[in-house]
Amino acid sequence: MAGYTDRVQEVANLVETIVEYKTVESNNQELERCRNTIKNYFSDTDLIIREHESNGCNSVVVLNQDTTEPKVMLHGHYDVVNGKDKLFDPWREDGKIYGRGTADMKAGLACMMRVMKEMEDSEVSLMLAATPDEEIGGLNGTKHLIEDVYSPSFGISSEPNNVKGRYMDIIAKQKGLVTFTMSLEKPFFHSTKPWMGTDAADKLVKKYVEITDRFSDPDEREWSTTTFLKKMESSMNKKNPNQAELTFSVYPAGDYTLEEIIEQVKSVDDIDVDLGFRQKVLDTDYENFYVQKLLESAKKSIEGEEPKVMWKAPPSDMGHLYSQGIPAVVFGPEGYNSHGDNEYAVIDSFEEYMNSLMDFLEGI
């Protein structure tokens, strides 16, 4: 790794180590191995290391002061979506590290771990939260930490932007998420005689279209509420009843509140509706003091296009902070193709990213 500083070499090596752990949902042994590696990284420091458990999910928290009200929370999740086995054997090519979770978001977590070490003696109270369940909603990781234990003044998650040429942008707004499952069962009738009964699957599809028509048409140029059909199952034959089940997600962007969406969907007649996971939007004020200080630091540290404060549609764990009144943003090193077979992080961005965080933390 000629040409890289010692800190970047250390971080790149750390990224490769934690990417090798197949930290997918319920793979408890690999999740524990990764968690132990995170804790052991700080074994030569006097930083406070805590582990918080909620419903079988274990988060690692590292603090430079003994407090539950740190000024800044640095956040990274160490769980990943599943992938081919080869993706858990990371490789380097043309200044990039490839593998599952390199971009989303073990490179960002590794950078924050190094920054936390360097800020050990800072007068600014800091916490690093490494959580195990962001990919499945963060309910027992970030949500538990924020609602039950810690109250930081500001949060930064090291998720990548995933936008070529704009990785340095600070994301202050993200959509929320609420999932629904609609189910319906009707009396059996022969499919050659549709006038004899009601097709449960057909009725669910029509109801889903009716619901989605209530929201704005999806347009990538607009910040509007959108929907997505995730799964549908149905059956009707002599052995199985005339039944159907449909699961879909609604991504509110602020034009509808979560409560308004839930009320509209649950108002459907003759259909059972179960409410699933919910996450409020992230809607941090662009002019927030911490946001502007971080922007100043990014402009100092990152070469090329000038960083901006932006919005980005996919939700993240930072919605859990915002729902508790805590301003938060998403800001990570350069990485692309999250969840894809060619997912990678750009090693050259690590130095700029860590310098941005250090300058920000030292200046607040």
Q: What is the pLDDT of residues 57-80, one digit of tens each?
A: 999 999 999 999 999 999 999 999
Enter the tokens of residue 86: 């080869």
Q: Could you tell me if 18 and 38 are in contact, meaning their C-beta atoms sit under 8 angstroms apart?
A: yes
Tokens of residue 146, six digits:
């924020």
The mean pLDDT of the chain is 91
Q: Where are the domains of the chain?
A: 6-173+282-363, 177-279
Do 180 and 250 form a contact (C-beta atoms < 8 A)? yes
302 pLDDT tier (thresholds 50, 70, 90):
confident
Domain 6-173+282-363 has CATH 3.40.630.10: yes
The dihedral formed by the CA atoms of 271, 274, 279 and 280, expressed in degrees to the nearest 10: 40
Assess whether pLDDT exceeds 60 at residue 336.
Answer: yes
Cα 33 from Cα 35, distance rounded (Å): 5
Q: What pLDDT, on the 0 to 100 scale, is given for residue 296?
A: 97
Pick from 140, 144, 179, 174: nearest CA to 157: 174
Question: How high is the pLDDT of residue 194?
Answer: 65
Beta strands at 96-98 and 177-186: parallel, antiparallel or unpaired: unpaired
* pLDDT reported for residue 166: 82
Looking at the domain 177-279, which fold is it?
Alpha-Beta Plaits (3.30.70)
pLDDT of residue 222 exceeding 80: no
What number of helices (H) and strands (E) belong to the chain?
Answer: 9, 17
